[in-house]
């Protein structure tokens, strides 16, 4: 109660402060409508505070005080993580049973044939399809029709759709019949079976929609059971997304062997998985965890792989695969059927002893199985003989058959009397996640959280372009449908590019793609797809922005050879970093369109390169804007005179475009940045003719940067951050940044693409010569850049949105041998072996660093953020790419930036990771004052933290007009929303729905909204957010001002289901943490 009272009083105080400041804000219209003139007007000290509704603060405090069922954190706490020999089931125990246990209720066995098809791993997607997948599906149509008792399941729509496009209508009709008759089931039905550690929830949802929409259009089916046998660890985010998409059941396989054993002893392998933050049970989904080592046949019929392998009839003598336990299968015939049926029934019975019902699931398949017609015959004919014999022995009390996954779950629910309602306490409720995975010994799969980080970054770049393009395109499409003349807008071509980008991004979420666990040439194939889609999306963005910004839409003309706009970044190949283009200035204005893909009004520092320092920038209202000119560097100490970087603060409407003008003038009011260069043993070249560059020979004094929020001290020797002073309370905080190397163990098993097996603690990164350090001081931002041999490290402090510090590393470890580079932050925060990482950018999962586990087990995936905290302060590391993160000592956070490994780690890849690239990592450090402690199984970021993450992941997109083209008249801003969305509301996507026939757009779009859960126990002074919160309510007609909402109807997450009474809604009302999907028609 005391804690509750404290929370309520905190809320009350912050609301009182807020309401006062909002009143002030209303008296002072200038506070929001910046007349972009002098620097003092640019950064008004009394920035407008968000009006946070006190009700909105209750969610986080309520979530902290509830507990439900099994918490995974508690499980990790009590498990000894020993690894005794369990006998035939190496990582388990001896299972015994009593002959007559099934007398009253027979054992029901469902054997579920499946084929695991990786959309790229040891071969590319196309090669696998050509060599294996197409044959599997072709044979499926023939072989299932031979006997209606046969069943088969399939999950990857990327492959299925490619196959479907190439088959005749006769085959298509046969497939539809097989589905209708329940012989063939689509499980999950996403574009791929995604990894669950690295992907952002945007992409997880998008690949699910892409698959489900394809299924609806081509087959008219709606999957209801999830199947994830191969992702390397499992996230509750996936459980949430499946539940909200309308699924009833899900299955998972790769879970730490000690957890599997513990769940098997407790008979909790089947449970209702509930979200940590759920105060009720609306997120519960029935989940089946497979008990053994693998999803292959030797590890799925029962605990003894030596016996189960004898029932994988693809391994019959004479074939290409055999049993490693040296006892081959025997074909079933009258002479051996009794003995063989009894052998496998014994396995089925033992396996069923690990579960609470007499219904048993026995998957039957492996990677790319059932490619040859003979294999279908071997498996299906031999198993049918076993079933027929078993079922004919009444005293065996068994009913065995082929089944689909949903056949199994339906029988399970019937048997346990769990209808769709989970109130039944027959199965336990569980919350938490299943990272970090180990499949044996100390082999933790924490390496892949970082492997191939170049592409983990490229993934997020594509993601932010895709979202930006989807939203702009959806609006441009509505705009173009308004007038007859507008048929020239390339809506169909652009829709094809969008569809291809969705599919390429979807493909990359596959658990061998974003994970960095494919062969080198397969990585290149994925990279090329990502790269092409980024280029194509830039076209969609340019075409859409073009039509939206024209004053007279009739003036729109589309010319592919000379686009109206060009982007400010070019990337020359799939494995190179983007470079800025140089805008050529003249005395005639060049227009710079800046698109803000966020749903909140935004102040953003925009930096572009121009060819002259004599520059003037005008705001959309035609007023001069304060500008900083920085040097563009050819090396650590060489200034280029081909280009100059100009930076200014743009004030942009939500989801809108601001049009700025750049001109060359005789006398510019722009202010040059000053530079100090710390050189150790080389001389600076001749003085620069424009910039003031001071050479600091042998100086070891601290370097200091500051803005109105904080003052930073950096070492004069290394240039690395040492401490931060927060101005709000005048306190100093130790905040040491350092780099460190991990090696790999000298044992036989070494680190590889999947596994992290270090040779002990990290060793400090030692430089023989102190680095060159370049310090810039400017009116818009200041920065320190340190040039180390393997990393160029930049810390930049902005004067706007300056509560966080931007940190970027350009990493190059291409010359290293079995080493991994980490960045570590050591603070004086008393974090006590607890830290917090996000799961998929969707929710926060508390972590415990456990000394009983090896170092590699204490590394967890981070998609967008990780933090440590104590009673008074929280330090958040925001990330623009997924990487592995840890907190190995009190007050520390560390992130693994790249890894180069010379050998395979025996998980099937057959190679190390040696294709390293020069890789950019981008972060923000955010230090916040907080009130109160927590040991609850749930935690939330602050609103400021959510905003920081959004700004980092959805940067503004600048586009410039071509110099020589006569520019038609443009609006000075395009502002599609009436006002900012509430602070805690995020538009995940506004995605045009495909028409029923071809790949072209319909007049309907999917609007996906996410209401973020946030923690109010943070100091709210000066956070400068231009939005408020409204208890999750939005009036639909008050959303858009350029368009009219013709209809808005709720749907399930991936559009598979609509409520029975689908009717238009006029107000959206959402609970915290929920992601809701609507079908929307704009006019």
Point out the residues that are catalytic.
Answer: 230
Distance CA 243, CA 895 (A): 32
At CA 368, angle to CA 366 and CA 369, rounded to 5? Answer: 60
Residue pair 1052/1077 in contact (Cβ under 8 Å)? The answer is: yes
Segment (H or E) for 269 = none
The alpha carbon of 763 is separated from its chain's Cα centroid by a whole number of angstroms, namely 30
At CA 249, angle to CA 245 and CA 252, rounded to 5? Answer: 105
3-class DSSP state of 473: helix
Task: Compute the CA torsion angle 518, 522, 527, 533 (nearest 10 deg).
Answer: -120
Q: 513: closest CA among 234, 238, 899, 121?
A: 121
Distance set, CA 269 to CA 263, 277, 435 (Å): 5, 22, 16
Residue pair 619/662 in contact (Cβ under 8 Å)? The answer is: no
Q: 779: closest CA among 554, 626, 945, 592?
A: 626
Pairing relationship of beta strands 398-402 and 107-116 according to DSSP bridges: parallel
Residue pair 7/932 in contact (Cβ under 8 Å)? The answer is: yes
Q: For the chain, how big is the Rg over CA atoms in Å?
A: 30
Q: 757: closest CA among 766, 746, 765?
A: 746
Structure tokens at 998: 């071809």
Give residues with Cβ within 8 angstroms of 729, minimum separation 6.
Answer: 929
Residue pair 399/411 in contact (Cβ under 8 Å)? The answer is: no
Distance CA 503, CA 160 (A): 13
Exposed e or buried b per residue across 47-86, where buried means at least 16 C-beta atoms within 10 angstroms of its C-beta: bbbbbbbbebbbbbbebbeeebbbbbbebbeebebeeeee
Exposed e or buried b per residue across 236-249, where buried means at least 16 C-beta atoms within 10 angstroms of its C-beta: bbbbbbbbbbbbbb
Exposed e or buried b per residue across 857-889, where buried means at least 16 C-beta atoms within 10 angstroms of its C-beta: bbbbbbbbbbbbbbeebbbbbbbbbbbbbbbbe
């Amino acid at each position: 109660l005391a804690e509750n009272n404290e929370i309520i009083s905190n809320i009350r105080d912050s609301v009182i402060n807020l309401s006062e400041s909002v009143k002030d804000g209303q008296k002072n219209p200038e506070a929001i409508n910046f007349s972009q003139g002098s620097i003092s007007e640019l950064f008004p000290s009394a920035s407008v505070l968000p009006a946070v509704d006190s009700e909105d603060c209750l969610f986080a405090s309520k979530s902290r005080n509830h507990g439900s069922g099994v918490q995974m954190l508690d499980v990790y706490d009590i498990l000894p993580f020993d690894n005794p020999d369990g006998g035939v089931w190496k990582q388990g125990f001896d299972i015994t049973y009593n002959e007559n246990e099934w007398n009253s209720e027979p054992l029901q066995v469902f054997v579920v044939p499946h084929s695991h098809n990786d959309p790229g791993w040891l071969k590319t997607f196309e090669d696998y399809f050509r060599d294996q997948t197409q044959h599997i599906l072709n044979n499926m149509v023939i072989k299932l029709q031979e006997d209606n008792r046969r069943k088969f399941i399939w999950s990857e729509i990327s492959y299925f759709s490619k196959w479907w496009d190439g088959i005749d209508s006769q085959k298509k009709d046969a497939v539809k019949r097989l589905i209708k008759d329940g012989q063939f089931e689509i499980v999950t039905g996403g574009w791929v079976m995604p990894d669950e550690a690295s992907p952002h929830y945007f992409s997880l949802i998008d690949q699910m929609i892409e698959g489900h929409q394809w299924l609806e259009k081509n087959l008219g089916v709606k999957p209801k059971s999830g199947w994830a046998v191969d992702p390397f660890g499992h996230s509750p985010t996936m459980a949430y997304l499946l539940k909200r998409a309308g699924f009833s059941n899900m299955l998972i396989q790769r879970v730490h062997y000690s957890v599997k054993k513990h769940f098997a002893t407790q008979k909790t392998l089947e449970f209702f998985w509930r979200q940590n933050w759920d105060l009720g049970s609306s997120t519960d989904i029935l989940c089946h965890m497979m008990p053994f080592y693998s999803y292959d046949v030797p590890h799925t019929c029962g605990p003894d792989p030596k016996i189960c392998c004898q029932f994988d009839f693809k391994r019959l003598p004479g074939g290409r695969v055999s049993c490693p336990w040296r006892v081959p299968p025997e074909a079933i015939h009258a002479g051996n059927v009794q003995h063989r049926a009894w052998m496998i029934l014994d396995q089925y019975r033992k396996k069923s002893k690990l579960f609470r019902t007499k219904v048993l699931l026995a998957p039957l398949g492996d990677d790319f199985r059932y490619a040859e017609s003979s294999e279908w015959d071997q498996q299906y004919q031999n198993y049918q003989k076993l079933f027929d014999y078993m079922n004919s022995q009444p005293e065996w009390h068994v009913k065995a058959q082929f089944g689909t996954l949903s056949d199994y779950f339906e029988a399970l629910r019937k048997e346990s009397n769990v209808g769709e309602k989970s109130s039944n306490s027959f199965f336990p409720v569980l919350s938490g996640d299943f990272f970090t995975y180990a499949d044996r010994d100390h082999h933790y799969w924490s390496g892949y959280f970082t492997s191939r980080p170049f592409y983990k970054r490229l993934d997020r770049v594509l993601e932010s372009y895709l979202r930006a393009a989807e939203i702009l395109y959806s609006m441009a499409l509505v705009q173009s449908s308004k007038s007859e003349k507008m048929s020239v807008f390339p809506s169909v071509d652009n829709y094809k590019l969008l569809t291809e980008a969705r599919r390429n991004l979807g493909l990359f979420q596959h658990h061998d793609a974003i994970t960095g666990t494919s062969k080198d040439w397969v990585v290149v194939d994925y990279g090329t797809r990502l790269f092409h889609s980024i280029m194509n999306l830039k076209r969609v963005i340019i075409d859409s922005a073009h039509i939206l910004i024209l004053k007279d839409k009739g003036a729109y003309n589309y010319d592919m050879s000379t686009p109206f706009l060009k982007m400010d970044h070019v990337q020359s190949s799939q494995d190179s970093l983007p470079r800025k283009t140089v805008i050529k200035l003249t005395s005639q204005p060049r227009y710079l369109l800046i698109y803000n893909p966020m749903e909140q009004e935004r102040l953003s520092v925009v930096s572009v390169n121009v060819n002259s320092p004599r520059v003037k920038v005008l705001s959309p209202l035609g007023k001069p804007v304060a500008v900083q000119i920085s040097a563009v560097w050819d090396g650590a100490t060489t200034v280029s005179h081909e280009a100059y970087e100009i930076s200014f603060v743009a004030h942009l409407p939500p989801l809108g475009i601001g049009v700025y003008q750049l001109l060359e003038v005789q006398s510019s009011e722009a202010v040059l940045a000053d530079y100090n260069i710390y050189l150790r043993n080389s001389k600076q070249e001749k003085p620069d003719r424009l910039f003031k560059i001071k050479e600091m020979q042998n100086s070891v004094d601290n370097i200091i940067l500051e803005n109105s929020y904080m003052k930073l001290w950096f070492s004069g020797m290394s240039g690395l951050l040492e401490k931060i002073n927060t101005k709000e309370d005048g306190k100093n905080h130790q905040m040491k940044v350092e780099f460190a190397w991990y090696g790999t163990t000298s044992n036989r098993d070494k680190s590889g693409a999947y596994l992290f097996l270090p040779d002990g603690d990290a060793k400090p990164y030692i430089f023989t010569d102190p680095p060159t350090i370049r310090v810039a001081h400017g009116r818009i931002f200041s920065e320190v850049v340190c040039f180390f041999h393997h990393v160029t490290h930049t810390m930049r402090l902005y004067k706007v949105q300056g509560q966080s510090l931007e940190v970027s590393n350009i990493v190059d470890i291409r010359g290293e041998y079995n080493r991994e580079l980490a960045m570590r932050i050591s603070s004086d925060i008393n974090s006590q072996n607890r830290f917090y990482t996000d799961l998929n950018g969707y929710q926060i999962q508390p972590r415990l660093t456990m000394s009983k586990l090896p170092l590699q087990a204490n590394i967890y995936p981070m998609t967008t953020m990780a933090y440590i905290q104590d009673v008074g302060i929280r330090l958040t590391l925001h990330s623009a790419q997924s990487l592995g993160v840890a907190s190995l000592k009190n007050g520390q956070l560390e992130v693994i930036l790249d890894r180069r490994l010379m050998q395979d780690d025996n998980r099937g890849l057959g190679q190390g990771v040696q294709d390293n690239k020069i890789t950019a990592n981008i972060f923000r450090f955010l230090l916040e004052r907080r009130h109160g402690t927590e040991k609850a199984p749930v935690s939330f970021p602050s609103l400021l933290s959510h905003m920081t993450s959004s700004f980092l992941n959805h940067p503004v997109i600048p586009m410039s007009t071509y110099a020589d083209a006569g520019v038609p008249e443009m609006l000075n801003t395009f502002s599609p929303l009436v006002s900012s969305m509430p602070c805690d509301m995020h538009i995940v996507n506004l995605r045009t729905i495909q028409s029923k026939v071809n790949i072209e757009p319909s007049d309907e779009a999917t609007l996906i909204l996410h209401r973020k859960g946030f923690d109010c126990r943070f100091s709210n002074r000066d956070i400068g957010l231009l939005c408020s919160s409204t208890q999750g309510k939005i009036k639909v007609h008050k959303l858009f001002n350029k368009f009219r909402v013709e209809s808005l109807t709720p749907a399930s997450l991936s559009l598979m289901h609509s409520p029975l009474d689908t009717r238009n809604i006029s107000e959206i009302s959402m609970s915290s943490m929920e992601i809701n999907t609507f079908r929307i028609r704009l006019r």
